[in-house]
Chain A
Amino acid sequence: MNYEFHWSVLLQYRELLLEGLLQTCKLSLVSLVVSMVLGTVVGVGRSFLRPALRWLCTCYVEFFRNVPPIVQFFFWYFAANLDVFPAAVIGLSAFTGAYIAEIVRSGIGALPRTQMEAARSSGMSTWQMIGHIVLPQALIRVIPPLGIEFINIVKNSAVAMTIGYTELTFQTQEIEARTFRGFEAATAVTLLYIGLAFCVVAAIHVIERLVRLELRRG
């Protein structure tokens, strides 16, 4: 088929790529914060709340974990009639939050029971125990799997283009549609996603080291 490469199209449309990269970062960062909060709350809920509320948390996890992200995006955008960005953030956060909740719950489950007993014996309330004893220890243990979820947020954000969110993959397709240079655009987007993923891994790594250093200092 003799495909000739014209890498110059990437330079020509660099503003589209940059715009897409910014939008992907924006959506990923906001969703990261929202899903982390949501996941932690639900994860703690599934471990410590009374049965009725615990059951609600379980329902949330099982429902949002098992529905494909694209269906969730369509639901928030078309059925709930939200704007593009809120729909994308909620769709991505609710999906990822369900996974994070399970990770947080596993972190809590990995703590020795004696930690909780010691906290109780020192006269701490349940919420004091969760805030001072359980969460700090549990979250540190689950930093590596959380990193995986954060990378997944970046990758899953591409699904937002189905509801017209102009993120990185969308802009790549736009370059493809305008210039018909598919391979160049695909190569660019591959490298950019790998770059983003490495940034997330590096950031997680730095955070983990800082936290552990802090702990050692006391």
Chain B
Amino acid sequence: MKTIGKPKLLGIFAILALMLAGGILSSAHAQQESTLDVVKKRGTLIAGVKSDYPPFGYIDENGKLVGFDIEIVKYIANKLGVGVDLRPVTSANRIPMLQSSTVDLLAASLTITRERVEAVDFSVPYIVIGSKFLVKKGSGIKGYADLANKTAAYTQGTPWGEKLKQAQPSASALVFQDKPQAVQAVIQGKAAAYIDDAAPLFVFAKEHPELEAVGEPSAPAPMGIGTRQNDAKWRNAINFALIDMWKDGTYLKLYRQFFGADPDPCFKIYPWEL
């Protein structure tokens, strides 16, 4: 049997290193122009959206990607006069997808947090949403205190792992990539609770009568459209579209359609006008 000699091995490593460096450099030296110009030139808005997270972004019975976030993307694209290309993302990969320019914006139930503003810029908050524990009916779990020595599920890329560790250090965690697996884990008793935003958990609880959404893992928090940092032109275009959406009544119509209720009366997208 012929063997690979040392010089050959080194050569292979050198090629790999070159390939790696090439990829990194080319991505580092990408364009500087505003995403707004890129989108207009391309004629399509590439948006990162959720596909497993009702009512923000999910697949309906006809296999089509629908949801509140998706309607917002369509509205923004309509305002800009461009088409829409929806790219499903997960909680874990959404911010890297934005940073690597795979998508132009994130309308992916992205809660505004102090950690995240270090990495992305946000539009004005377009929704404020609470959070819940998804548990089996009659489990008696109401809050972090009841999760002592139990297992809680969450999905990677959400802040619930950190929250859980702080609020209930004795609980162990089960971390999934997608939401349906976390729901399944609760149904099968692999996890006592699944922590996430309230709206989708209500939908999951309705789909699975043996489950209920209870408690308040954290105070209500705003979500925003995520853009790459230092691209004010692009962020402004998105902000103006969101404001228009609120003003012309589309927002309220969509909110009622997808959440089956009126938005919290305290919440409002301000018109930025005197």
Residue numbers of A with Cβ under 8 A of B are 1-3, 5, 74, 78, 81, 84, 144, 161-164, 166, 170, 173-174, 176-178, 180, 182-183, 187, 190, 194, 205, 208
Query: Which B residues are CB-close (under 8 A) to A1?
Result: 27-28, 30-32, 99-101, 228
Query: Which A residues are CB-close (under 8 A) to B188?
Result: 78, 81
Query: Which B residues are CB-close (under 8 A) to A182?
Result: 95-96, 99-100
A2 close to B119 (CB less than 8 A): no
Within 8 A of A (CB), among B1-54: 1, 3, 16, 20, 24, 27-28, 30-32
In whole angstroms, how far apart are the Cα atoms of A78 and B32 in the complex?
47
- Chain B interfacial residues counted at CB < 8 A: 37
Chain A CB within 8 A of B141 CB = no
B95 close to A180 (CB less than 8 A): yes
In whole angstroms, how far apart are the Cα atoms of A180 and B100 in the complex?
11
Who on chain B is nearest to A1 by CB? B30
- Of the listed residues A161, A173, A187, the one surrounded by the most CB atoms of chain B closer than 10 A to its CB is A173
In whole angstroms, how far apart are the Cα atoms of A174 and B92 in the complex?
8
Who on chain B is nearest to A174 by CB? B156
Who on chain A is nearest to B99 by CB? A182
Residue numbers of B with Cβ under 8 A of A are 1, 3, 16, 20, 24, 27-28, 30-32, 91-93, 95-96, 99-101, 115-116, 118-120, 153, 156-157, 174-178, 181, 184-185, 188, 190, 228
Query: Which B residues are CB-close (under 8 A) to A190?
Result: 20
Tell me whether chain A's interface is mostly helix, strand or loop, or mixed: helix
Name 29 interchain pairs, CB-CB below 8 A, sorted by A: A1-B31, A1-B100, A1-B228, A2-B28, A2-B32, A3-B27, A5-B28, A74-B181, A78-B184, A84-B174, A162-B177, A162-B181, A163-B176, A164-B174, A164-B176, A164-B185, A173-B93, A174-B156, A176-B92, A176-B93, A177-B91, A177-B157, A180-B95, A180-B96, A180-B118, A182-B96, A182-B100, A183-B24, A183-B27
Q: Given A81-B190, A164-B174, output 19 extra A-B contacts at Cβ < 8 Å.
A: A1-B101, A1-B228, A2-B28, A2-B32, A78-B188, A81-B188, A161-B177, A162-B177, A162-B178, A164-B181, A164-B185, A173-B156, A174-B156, A180-B95, A180-B99, A180-B120, A183-B27, A187-B24, A194-B16
Query: Which B residues are CB-close (under 8 A) to A78?
Result: 181, 184, 188
In whole angstroms, how far apart are the Cα atoms of A144 and B174 in the complex?
38
Query: Which B residues are CB-close (under 8 A) to A84?
Result: 174
